[in-house]
Amino acid sequence: MPPQLLDRLKSAGSSVSAMTLGQKVIAVIGVAVLVLGATAFGRWVSTPSLVPVYANLSGTDGQAIADILTQDGVPFEATNGGTGISIARESVDAEKMKIAAAGLPSDSSSGSAVLASSGITTSQFMEKANYQRAMEADLAKTIEQLDGVRTAVVHIAVPEETVFTDDKGKTTASVLVETTPGKTLTDSQIQSILNLTASSVPNLDPSQVTISDSTGRLLSAAGQGLTGSGSSDARTQQYESDKAASIQQVLDKVLGPGKAIASVSAELNFDTTNEVKEEFDYPKQLPPLSSSTSTEKYTGTNGQTGGALGTNGVLGVDGTTTTTNGGAGGNGYDKEQSTVNNPINKTTTTSQLAPGTLKRQSIAVVVDEKAAKAMGMPQLQETIANAAGVLDTRGDSLSVTQATFDTSAADAAAKDLEAAKAEDAKAAQTKLITQGAVGLLALVFLLVVFIAWRRAAKRRPSRESLDLGELERLYPAGPVIGPDGVAALGAPGAPQLTPSAPDPAALRRAEVGELVDQQPAEVADLLRGWLADTRKV
């Protein structure tokens, strides 16, 4: 080992030996923190940054791409159950080109792939069929982007156009979806699939789209709307629970918690009905649109107009009233007819009633006898009816019954709750005391280390630099001894110093002084012992 390195190691060892216990502990902790930080930084630097490159891959394509990346030694990660792959950022471009050259992803279900497979001599029928297949494939890919949809299959039925009939059939579509395990599609997602499919196909009405999942459950039927997660039973239960919760909230506010129980049974109408309403109104302030008047006059001789009504008037033609003219020699009548066409306002309202409207509901409430007596049954029943929106015309029913509630379980639960709260408070207090004790110990430890460092700093002798000026030569000129022990020749005329033998007395004084600096208490005890022995003698 080189002498310079050995001297440095000896100097470092001497420095460590001179350190106090607190300084050594702090040094060890600092070294450990540096080592852990360097290790974490090295692992973070060595970990490659991954970028998502492929998504919605089939199992075959995902395995083939993974084999290529493994063969090239490129870091990657499979995501979403193997349907997505993330590649190291610095290798993305090169690996994408290599994977594309291998014909991957080879999924031919996309619309562009279907259209690209058409040949030059394709017939019009095949072009139409390929276009429809491409549309179905693109729609399936779009639906698969929804959260919770794993795969989707779309089929479109377009009626054939013909010149022999004016009636054209309706375009329909069906969608089969496979959901991710543990997830179900919500009403908004099902409605999104309906709108996406209807908006992507010409002349397709959303009511003509049928949606089903892979288990065979019908989510939306043509002409019926949502029937899956928003089925009649689920929506009825939701209405009943919401209505019961609102009534229970009112009862808890009025009577107090645990004093009443409410239950609701509802019947909803899920029929899709169209209502057409026509209203006619005659605005009297407007003039008539048209009017006409006709007058007919008849004069006869030697005749008598009469009959059962007499000679003063007869019932004329078409039910009109005629009057006779008195004359000397005969009878006659006058006929006047008026027709007025008044303006009539006509209002036609066509509305489609959404399924799920309330048909009737039955509400049952059981109230604690003591609470009911305090408020009064008639007033309580009226309050519940107003809160629940009970209508007699709709056939709603409301039943309020008094009963004596058993509060033993509630009291026991309250006691358990209080005990749990007290236990939690005690645990929190114990945790706080423990944390305070740990903090106090850490503070005491730091204070001890600081005091020890201060004492060690005070024990060190203070040194000051003094200007000694020019010193006379103490030794005759001679060769200079270098670090390697070999005499080095100086320049001619340059002052040379030769080492002299160390003075034994000076060495002893230096050792005693160093001992006094390092162990002042022990040296003081030793001197006291010597003085005591001298006095005895």
The set of residues, in sequence order, having a beta carbon less than 8 Å from that of 429 and lying 6+ positions away, is none
- SS3 at position 139: helix
Pick the residue with more confidence: 477 or 147? 147
Instruction: Please tell me whether the peptide bond between 461 and the residue prior to it is cis, using omega within 30 degrees of 0.
Output: no
* Amino acid 30: pLDDT: 78
Backbone φ and ψ of 272, nearest 5°: -90, 115
Cα-Cα-Cα-Cα torsion 12, 16, 19, 24, nearest 10 degrees, comes to 130
DSSP letters, 411-423, are: HHHHHHHHHHHHH
* Amino acid 338: pLDDT: 85
Please, is 68 exposed, middle or buried when counting C-beta atoms within 10 Å of its C-beta (0-12, 13-18, 19+)?
middle
Q: What are 508's two structure tokens?
A: 């002893």
What confidence category does residue 174 fall into, taking pLDDT thresholds of 50, 70 and 90?
A: very high
Q: Which of 285, 291, 289, 278 is nearest to 343 (CA)?
A: 289
Matching residue, tokens 């002052």: 495
Highest mean predicted confidence (pLDDT) among 1-5, 320-324, 435-439: 435-439
* Amino acid 308: pLDDT: 45
Exposure string of 486-507, with b = 16+ CB inside 10 Å and e = fewer, is eeeeeeeeeebeeeeeeeeeee
* Amino acid 38: pLDDT: 82
CA atoms of 215 and 131, how far apart (whole Å): 29
> Poorest-confidence range of 196-205, 359-368, 481-490, 510-519?
481-490
Mean pLDDT of the chain: 77
CA atoms of 330 and 301, how far apart (whole Å): 4
* Amino acid 476: pLDDT: 54
The set of residues, in sequence order, having a beta carbon less than 8 Å from that of 142 and lying 6+ positions away, is 196, 200
* Amino acid 336: pLDDT: 84
What confidence category does residue 133 fall into, taking pLDDT thresholds of 50, 70 and 90?
A: confident
User: What is the mean pLDDT of the segment spanning 339-367?
Assistant: 83
CB of 193 within 8 A of CB of 177?
Answer: yes
Checking if the pLDDT of 324 tops 70, the result is: no
User: What is the mean pLDDT of the segment spanning 408-436?
Assistant: 85
* Amino acid 370: pLDDT: 82
CA atoms of 385 and 389, how far apart (whole Å): 6
pLDDT cut 70: percent of the chain above it: 76
The structure's pTM equals 0.38
User: What is the mean pLDDT of the segment spanning 415-439?
Assistant: 87
Handedness of CA 280, 283, 288, 294 (dihedral sign): positive
Q: What are 304's two structure tokens?
A: 């008598």
Query: Quick one: three-class SS letters along 430-496?
Result: HHHHHHHHHHHHHHHHHHHHHHHHHHHHHHCCCCCCCCCCCCCCCCCCCCEECCCCCEECCCCCCCC
* Amino acid 5: pLDDT: 67
The set of residues, in sequence order, having a beta carbon less than 8 Å from that of 25 and lying 6+ positions away, is 449
- The CA distances from residue 293 to 18, 314, 346, 458, 464, in Å, are 136, 21, 27, 134, 139
* Amino acid 154: pLDDT: 92
- SS3 at position 276: strand
CA atoms of 31 and 16, how far apart (whole Å): 14
* Amino acid 310: pLDDT: 45
CA atoms of 313 and 329, how far apart (whole Å): 17
